Structures are given as C-alpha cells and as structure tokens.
C-alpha cells in the first residue's frame, strides 16, 4: 500500500473513530489478574477494525506521563489517544491532526502533551480536558521529533528540515533556529539539566549549548547511515544513538568519543529508552525489545510479543513501566521490575489487577 492511500484511509479512520469512541473504549484488552511472567507485557492496548473495515492504526509514537498514570499513543490514523495505565481506560481520542503522527511528548509537569508529524504542525493538548492549548506555526516539512526543556518553557523540534527550531510554550513564538548538519533529522533531546541540545540525523550527531546555540560537538557516525534514535543518559554525561546500521553506540558528551558499541545486528533500531542509569531498551525491525546491561555490555533480556516493528519506546523508571508502540497496531506496557535490575523499583501497585 502506498503512502497516499494510507493517508486517505487514515483520514477516513479519523472521522469514523470519533463516532465510535465507545467501541474503542470497550476494545482495550484488560491485563490478567495474576502477575505476568518475566518478559511478558502487563497490559496490551489494542483497537478494533473500524466499521468501514479499515485496520487499526500503527503506533509510531508513545509517551508516558511524568506521574506514570497515563500512556499516550499516536500513529497513521491521525488521532492522539490517552489511556489510564491502572485500568486501560481510554480517556481522550483527540482530533486535530490531519496526517501521520510521529512524536508525542509530555511536558515536565504532565499537564500538556505535544504531538506532531507529517501534518507539519505541533499541537499542544491539555491532558486533563483533551482540548487545544496552543498550535505552533506550520512548518514547511514533516516533524519527526519534539522535546521539552526541563523547565517546560521551550519546545525543540526537528524533522525533514536542516533547522532545529525552538519555540516558547507560553505563546508559540519561534525563539531561535539552529543549523542542523543534514535535512533528515529524526531525534532531538535536551540534556537532563537543560544546558545542552543534541540532535541526530543522517550519519551525524550535533550538540549545542542551549543558552546561546553554540555548536559544541559534531560526532560522525560509522557508515553515515540514518540515526533514528538519540537519547541522553539519566546523568547527562552520555548520548546513546542507533539507527539503520544496526549498532547502538554510547558517546561521551564532553569529548564526543565513543564509549561503547552494542551489536543489534538482528534489527534496524527505531527507538531507545533508558530504563535505569545502566539499563537501556532498544526496539526495531525484528519486533523485539532488547534490554541491554551497560555494565556488562551484554543483552540482559528480550521482551517479546509484538508482531511488527517496534517503532517507539517510552520509559518511566520512577513509575516502573516501559511502553512500546508497534506497526502491529498495539501498545504494550512492561514492568521494569521484571528486568532483574537492582536499580528498578518494584512493580507499582496501580498496575496490579
């Protein structure tokens, strides 16, 4: 199926989904009463085929709220959905985008959810009401990644453009544009302390000082293939990157030198998430979530269940959960307590059925 037909079907699905919200709510799979075995999802969120016979959406974006109470998902049917993790209840199915969603990000205070993608606009949604707070100016090309500064006052975006754009979340004003090394940028991140900005694209990582936009580091990646995922370590001293060359690399932020490489030859890597300071999750084209122990530099565990590419990951170590979105049209929720890491907290009571 070509992209044009997928978009048409997505638009039809949007209209039908709004009219059949009750059906969608009733379709969420409930977790079993007993605790899941290690490596099994504690909840699977699925949506039904709509009345017109269109398949459910693929989920290319997931996010977990800072308090660990909500999971958000978006994909090729253009809707932003919010569920409660405690019972899998759908709280909002938000209409407003007219194309494929590529990124979802909660604000640090958890009150706002940003969403963007092929529609070329960033919408800021009120989490409590599902209403629009702000719509940022339309960009010329699709947006693939957005990330809040730690204080929530600035939102950074990148995509199929050679500019990293910084917007005020108060009024949507464009604050600054920074030159990117290529016009295919798939990930942008603020460091945990807000002093640095990093983005990854086609074969290169660039790091700026957030205060003045000065370029601090340019890191060329082996084979110069597409970087699909880039994330700061929890302490901000390292960057993890991965993508089409099937390798996961960790870089020292100050020196720009490689710290380690993890071989994920079974898959192109689409997503990364830190589950703890020394546990890194990766997901990709082999339909599996790999959990890497950074102390031993070995794969610790595989989380299996998806039947399509794992396109997105989101972790909330404080709440003890990991969310994954897939081309198989499901979102799966995993407990970090089952990963065998002493740093992971026990499974939160809210997720026990």
- Please write the tens of the pLDDT for every residue from 171-192: 999 999 999 988 889 999 999 9
DSSP 245: T
Which band of pLDDT confidence, cut at 50, 70 and 90, is reported for residue 1? very low
Q: Are 299 and 258 in contact (CB under 8 A)?
A: no
User: What three-state secondary structure class fits 304?
Assistant: coil
Average confidence (pLDDT) over 130-156: 96
* 299 beta partners: 292
Q: Give how far the C-alpha of residue 333 lies from the chain's centroid of Cα atoms, to the nearest Å.
A: 13
Average confidence (pLDDT) over 78-97: 94
Distance CA 219, CA 258 (A): 9
Domain count, the chain: 1
Half-sphere exposure (CA, 13 Å, Cβ side) for 204? 10
The range of the structural domain enclosing residue 207 comes to: 3-351
Is the dihedral angle over the CA atoms 298, 343, 106, 92 positive or is it negative?
positive
- Phi, psi (degrees; rounded to nearest 5) at 347: -60, 125
Which band of pLDDT confidence, cut at 50, 70 and 90, is reported for residue 170? very high
Q: How far is CA 299 from each of CA 123, 131, 274, 276, 338, rounded to the nearest angstrom?
A: 37, 42, 14, 15, 15
Half-sphere exposure (CA, 13 Å, Cβ side) for 247? 13
* 92 beta partners: 82
Which band of pLDDT confidence, cut at 50, 70 and 90, is reported for residue 32? very low
Which band of pLDDT confidence, cut at 50, 70 and 90, is reported for residue 272? very high
Residue 54 has pLDDT above 60, yes or no: yes
What pLDDT is recorded for position 36? 52
**Minimal CA–CA distance to 61: which of 21, 105, 17, 95?**
105
Q: Give ∠ CA 93-94-98 in degrees, rounded to 5.
A: 125
Distance CA 346, CA 349 (A): 9
Which band of pLDDT confidence, cut at 50, 70 and 90, is reported for residue 39? low
Which of 212-226, 256-270, 277-291, 332-346 has the largest mean confidence? 277-291
Q: How far is CA 108 from each of CA 31, 64, 154, 196, 310, rounded to the nearest angstrom?
A: 28, 11, 11, 17, 25
- Give 153-208 as a 3 state SS string: CEEEEEECCCEEEEEECCCCCEEEEEECCCCCCCEEEECCCCCEEEEECECEEEEE
Q: Are 231 and 195 in contact (CB under 8 A)?
A: no
CB atoms within 10 A of CB 235: 12
Q: Are 47 and 13 in contact (CB under 8 A)?
A: no
Which band of pLDDT confidence, cut at 50, 70 and 90, is reported for residue 225? confident
Q: List the CATH number of the domain containing 302.
A: 2.130.10.10
pLDDT tens profile 280-333: 999 999 999 999 999 999 999 999 999 999 999 999 999 999 999 999 999 999
Question: Which pTM was predicted?
Answer: 0.85
Distance CA 239, CA 283 (A): 17
What pLDDT is recorded for position 324? 98
Under 8 Å CB-to-CB from 5, ≥6 apart: which residues?
A: none
What pLDDT is recorded for position 222? 57
DSSP 267: S
Q: Are 88 and 29 in contact (CB under 8 A)?
A: yes
Q: Which two tokens stand for residue 33?
A: 């009463």
Burial of 263 (0-12, 13-18, 19+ CB in 10 A): exposed
297 Rama sector, left if φ>0, alpha if ψ -120 to 50, beta otherwise: left
The mean of the pLDDT values for the chain is 85
Q: Give how far the C-alpha of residue 83 lies from the chain's centroid of Cα atoms, to the nearest Å.
A: 16
What pLDDT is recorded for position 341? 45
What pLDDT is recorded for position 352? 25
């Amino acid at each position: 199926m070509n992209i044009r037909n997928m978009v048409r079907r997505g638009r039809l699905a949007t209209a039908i989904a709004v009219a059949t919200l009750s059906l969608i709510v009733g379709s969420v799979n409930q977790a079993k009463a007993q605790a899941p075995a290690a490596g099994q999802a504690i909840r699977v969120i699925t949506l039904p085929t709509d009345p017109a016979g269109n398949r459910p959406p693929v989920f290319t974006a997931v996010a977990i709220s800072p308090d660990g109470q909500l999971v958000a998902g978006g994909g090729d049917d253009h809707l932003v959905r919010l569920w409660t993790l405690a019972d899998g209840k759908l709280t909002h199915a938000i209409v407003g985008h007219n194309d494929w969603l590529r990124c979802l990000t909660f604000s640090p205070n958890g009150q706002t959810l940003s969403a963007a993608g092929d529609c070329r606009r960033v919408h800021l949604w009120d989490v409590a009401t599902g209403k629009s707070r702000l719509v940022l100016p339309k960009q010329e090309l699709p947006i693939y990644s957005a990330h809040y500064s730690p204080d929530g006052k600035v939102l950074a975006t990148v995509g199929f453009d050679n500019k990293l754009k910084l917007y005020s979340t108060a009024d949507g004003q464009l604050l600054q544009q920074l030159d990117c090394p290529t016009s295919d940028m798939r990930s942008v991140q603020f460091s945990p302390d807000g002093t640095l900005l990093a983005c990854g694209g086609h074969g290169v990582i660039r790091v700026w000082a957030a205060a003045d936009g000065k370029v601090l580091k340019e890191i060329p990646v082996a084979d110069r293939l597409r970087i699909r995922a880039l994330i700061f370590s929890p302490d901000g001293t390292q960057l993890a990157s991965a993508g089409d060359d099937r390798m996961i690399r960790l870089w020292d932020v100050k020196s720009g030198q490689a710290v380690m490489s993890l071989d994920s030859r079974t898959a192109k890597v689409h997503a990364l998430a830190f589950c703890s300071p020394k546990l890194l999750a990766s997901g990709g084209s082999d339909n599996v979530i790999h959990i890497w122990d950074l102390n031993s530099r070995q794969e610790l565990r595989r989380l299996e269940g998806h039947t399509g590419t794992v396109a997105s990951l989101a972790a909330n170590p404080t709440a003890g959960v990991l969310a994954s979105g897939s081309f198989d049209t499901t979102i799966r929720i995993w407990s970090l307590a089952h990963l065998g890491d002493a740093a992971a907290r026990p499974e939160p009571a809210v997720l026990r059925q």
